[in-house]
Structure 1
Amino acid sequence: MLLEVPTRIATIPAVRRARTTPGLLVALTGVLVTLGLVYAVVGLVAVGQRAARVDEIRTVSGPLSVHALDVYRSLSDADATAAVAFLSAGVETPALRQRYLDDIARASSALALALRATDDSSDPSNRSETLLRSIAVQLPVYTGVVETARTYNRQQLPLGAAYLQEASGLMRNTLLPAAQELFTLETDRLSTAQRTGADFPALVLLLGLALLGALIGVQAFLTRRTNRLLNPGLAIASLATVISLLWLTAAMGAAGSHLDTGRRTGSSLFAQLAEARVLALQARADESLTLIARGDGAADEEHYQRMLDKLVGSRGFRDAGLLGAYNRRELDAADARMVGQIDDLARAWRDQHQFVRDVDNRGEHAEAVRMALSDDADSPATLFAALDAALGKAIDTTGQRFAAESADAAGNLTSARIGIVLPILVVILATVLGTRARIGEYR
């Protein structure tokens, strides 16, 4: 009785048809078409996910890092400019006043842009928004204290220096740490996105190889059944699959290479140079605050030396500090020259700063202030201006490099989509036409 069931199934017309050569060809054609469609769908989804990450790098993470840097740098520069302005005899120069106001305006604008960008951020904790709102709340407090200090300073009252110290303490203890955390958070997120943005989709490769193997297997089946060495349709489909795999591999590899180059020579160097610029700006504020304190600025001078040690290392050590570390890295010739120039300017500035400190420590305060504010070629003010300009130019260069590499990666991922869709259409059409001709021979 049990043996009768398989026998009855085998007598069903559809089953009998499926067991014949044309029936098997129809089934195999369906398998090949399905496998091709699965390869295309999975491939497009995988490439689309990576393209979305690259798009986020270009439209969210990258701009947010730039806005975070603008906040960080503008606040640091405002602190340094406010301190330098107080070295003037009661009234700061119009240029210094305008620079301070521009810094505050730039920081406020960057805060607004960054807050808008965080709406599109994938950060689940929304830590960036929390930091931005904290800075936005404290910034008016800082500017208010600076204006009070400025009022007393114009009247040449000592309370001005006390209020300036209070403002600088608020900046260094509250605003700058928040800005630094924000910048670090965004640059780390950007670096992570760059590392994962174009990793090769292994599953798509396996599906493509499976499709190619299936095409070769069906071709071998037809050779045995029909005694024909080659099926043109299946041969074309196999070639199209190989082209698709090579195209996908090349496009994804190029996208990954562009993102890696953008990270190493663009965003990574950009972040380090941005940190170097902030260190220099904080040291510049210390330089002025030490002179403003009139012999009571030991803490500010100590902070200056710590900033310079972080920037270029302790005296006597050439390849040390943030800039020295980059001198030891495998940079190309242009980047090595760029970082080397910045390192030289920072060291020259520290040497001139020490010369001013020696004069001030001898009790010649007025002369020390004159030297600090001088526009001579070797004065601390001139050397710092050159250092800041060189850092700004380097940051712009690396930022543009990162943007260009990200755009190239996006183009490669678009190419990867084409490398999946066009060949797979050829695979499906050639497979159907190739097996249809053989199926027709049995009718």
Structure 2
Amino acid sequence: MTTTVPPGHPPAAAAAVPMPGAPVAARTGRPTPTRMRLRAAALVVVGVLVAIAGGWSFASADAALARADANAAQLVRLQELQTRLVSADASATNAFLVGGLEPADRRAVYDDALTSAAGLVAQAARAQPADGTVLSALNASILDYAAGIEQARAANRQALPVGAQYLRNASATLRTDALPALAALIDANEVRVADEFSAAERAWVLVVVASVLALAGVVAASVWLARHTHRYVNLPLAGAALVLLVLLVGSGVALWSVAADVDRVRSEPFAAASALSRARLAAYDAKANESLTLISRGSGQTFEDAWVVSSDTTVVALQEASATGTVPRDLDGTWEPYAAQHQAIRDLDDGGAWEDGVAAATNDAEGSANAAFAEFDAASADALRTTSEQTSVGLGAARGGLVLGLWLAALAGLAVAVLCWTGFARRLEEYR
């Protein structure tokens, strides 16, 4: 029986026959060389991006730590400048109580503090140009303060009552002009340090995310290639996946370690140094207010109230420093002897023995208020120096190996690119 084929319809058998000249891949379901090259090129780009991401993560961590170290040093420098200015005021007011020509040693302490302050202004301006404008204005305020102190001294030598007013005006100028501007600079540098700490702690994110995505891409490409070529073992692609896995684990561990080191520095020596700077500033402010209270002779309750606030600030800051575990445990007790001597001075003054109170406030003998304050000053200065050095050393240690990590991460990404291209190239050879 003959089957009739309608006109315009090819025989069924003919429809299943490949067209002459069709590519072998199209006839067998295998991927075309072009598609394979496109996927290989895409993986090469992924490898290069991983190299960039890895190198950038380690480089950014290193740069952030370097900036954090520099900004932390600037912060300590500004805090020391702040303390020097208040200590100069404390020395000037205490010397003023003596009357007439102040003792040479007290004058030397004042001159040294003011000279150190001027030097710190210059150092801070060189270290951080962004602070230059404020520091220039601050230098002018310091000169105005020094001029006011000289007026007070000149009047005091002649036993003129106006000298006390000159002294109060100079001290007020320091507190209303110089110290607020300096406090704003300190706040700005604290923000800079915190930002750099955070940047270093987040550095792991980019390389880890890039490695995970790249690993997923290589695995997906391996599965696709195996499914279409029926070659289930591709050593170069397996090597690329292994390199990415090592990069993921190695960079994650290394940068997490950096983050842990940064967190320890932030919460221990750096926190202690900041607290000690606040304690010393408040302590010197209290010492100045002690003298200003006596200078006011019965009308200095405002200065005594300020002494109480500064003393409380000192005690709290010392406790914060001790809580970090990086300073001597007994440091917070070094303020108590001076506070007790201050109370004895206040008892004398409030009891009508003003001259005895002045004598107690200006005495440098062992057991006096000045001697007790000097012991606090020395102990807190040593602790501040130690914690500042620990901060710098800790940040330097955290940077160790980051440059090596940068090159290893970059080489790992490039190795992934080469291995991926090699893996696809082997399959492409089957088409030749």
| TM tier, smaller | 0.7 to 0.9
Aligned to 1:71: 81
Alpha-carbon shift at residue 52 of structure 1 (Å):
3.4
Percent identity of equivalent pairs: 29
Candidates 190, 213, 218, aligned match of 2:193: 190
Match of 1:385 in 2: 374
1:157 is paired with a residue whose SS is: coil
Greater shift after overlay, 40-49 or 181-190? 40-49
- Residue 372 and residue 437 in structure 1: after superposition, are their counterparts in 2 closer, same or farther (change >3 A)? same
Partner of 2:183: 180
Looking at structure 1, the residues matched to 268 and 38 of structure 2 have their Cα atoms a distance apart, in angstroms, of 53
In 1, Cα distance between equivalents of 2:392 and 2:122? 22
Matching residue's letter, 1:322: A
Q: Is structure 2 residue 131 aligned with structure 1 residue 131?
A: no
- In the alignment, does 2:110 pair up with 1:107? no
Which secondary structure state, in structure 2, belongs to the residue aligned with residue 310 of structure 1? Answer: helix
Are 1:38 and 2:49 counterparts?
Answer: yes
Alignment of 1:12-31 (within 5 A): 20=31, 22-31=33-42
Q: Distance in 1 between matches of 2:215 and 2:134?
A: 53
Structure 2 distance, partners of 1:191, 1:265, is 14
Alignment CA distance shift 1:138-1:435 (3 Å): same
d(CA) in 2 for partners of 1:209, 1:284: 59
After superposition, residues 208-287 of structure 1 pair within 5 angstroms as 208-224=211-227, 228-287=231-290
Q: Tell me the CA shift for residue 228 of structure 1.
A: 4.9
Match of 1:322 in 2: 317
Indicate which of 372, 385, 410 corresponds to 2:399: 410
Cα separation, 2, equivalents of 1:228 and 1:406 = 50
How far is the alpha carbon of 1:72 from its aligned partner?
0.8
Mapped contact 1:67–1:114 kept (Cα < 8 A): yes
Greater displacement, 351-360 / 203-212: 203-212
The residue type equivalent to 1:26 in the other structure is R
Match of 2:336 in 1: 347
In structure 2, how many angstroms separate the alpha carbons of the residues matched to 1:204 and 1:266? 29
Q: Does structure 1 conserve the Cα–Cα contact (< 8 Å) formed by 2:84 and 2:114? A: yes
2: CA distance, partners of 1:262 / 1:16: 66
Asked if residue 207 in structure 1 is aligned to residue 218 in structure 2, the reply is no
Between the aligned partners of 1:133 and 1:393, the Cα distance in structure 2 is 30
Question: 2 CA distance for matches of 1:389 and 1:324?
Answer: 17
SS of structure 2 residue aligned to 1:197: helix
SS in structure 1 at match of 2:335: helix
How many residues end up aligned between the 2 structures?
Answer: 414
Q: Distance in 1 between matches of 2:143 and 2:100?
A: 23
1:307 and 2:310 are equivalent in the alignment = yes
How far apart, CA to CA, are the structure 2 residues paired with 1:17 and 1:281?
Answer: 88
- Which structure has more RCO (C-alpha within 8 Å, separation ≥ 6)? 2
Residue type of the alignment partner of 2:282: L
Q: Secondary structure at the match of 2:201?
A: coil
Structure 1 unaligned residues grouped into runs of 5+: 1-6, 122-127, 313-320
Partners of 1:172 and 1:34 in 2: how far apart? 60
**Residue 85 of structure 1 aligns to which amino acid in structure 2?**
A
The structure 1 residue matched to 2:418, chosen from 411, 419, 429, is 429
Distance 1:103 1:13 in 2: 89
Residue type of the partner of 2:103? T
Shift of 1:435: 3.5
Please give the TM-score of this superposition, normalised by the length of structure 1: 0.83
Distance in 2 (CA, whole Å) between partners of 1:154 and 1:11 is: 112
What amino acid sits opposite 1:281 in the alignment? Y
> Corresponding residue for 2:8?
none
Cα distance in 1 for residues equivalent to 2:270 and 2:383: 12
Structure 2: which 5+ runs fail to align?
A: 1-17
Aligned AA (1:144): A
The answer to whether the aligner puts 1:370 opposite 2:380 as a matched pair is: no
After TM superposition, the structure 1 stretch with the greater mean CA deviation from structure 2, 272-281 or 221-230, is 221-230
Amino acid at match of 1:284: K
Considering only CA atoms, is the larger Rg found in Structure 1 or Structure 2?
A: 2
Moved more, 106-115 or 214-223: 214-223
Residue identity opposite 1:187 in structure 2: E
| Contact 2:361 2:369 survives alignment (8 Å) | yes
Distance 1:33 1:56, change over 3 A: same
Q: In angstroms, what is the RMSD of aligned CA positions?
A: 3.0
**Does the 8 A contact of 1:254 with 1:412 survive in 2?**
no
Question: CA 1:17/1:403 → structure 2, altered by over 3 Å: closer, same or farther?
Answer: farther
Partner of 1:91: 101
Contact 1:248 1:419 in 2 (8 A): no
User: Is 2:431 the partner of 1:439?
Assistant: no
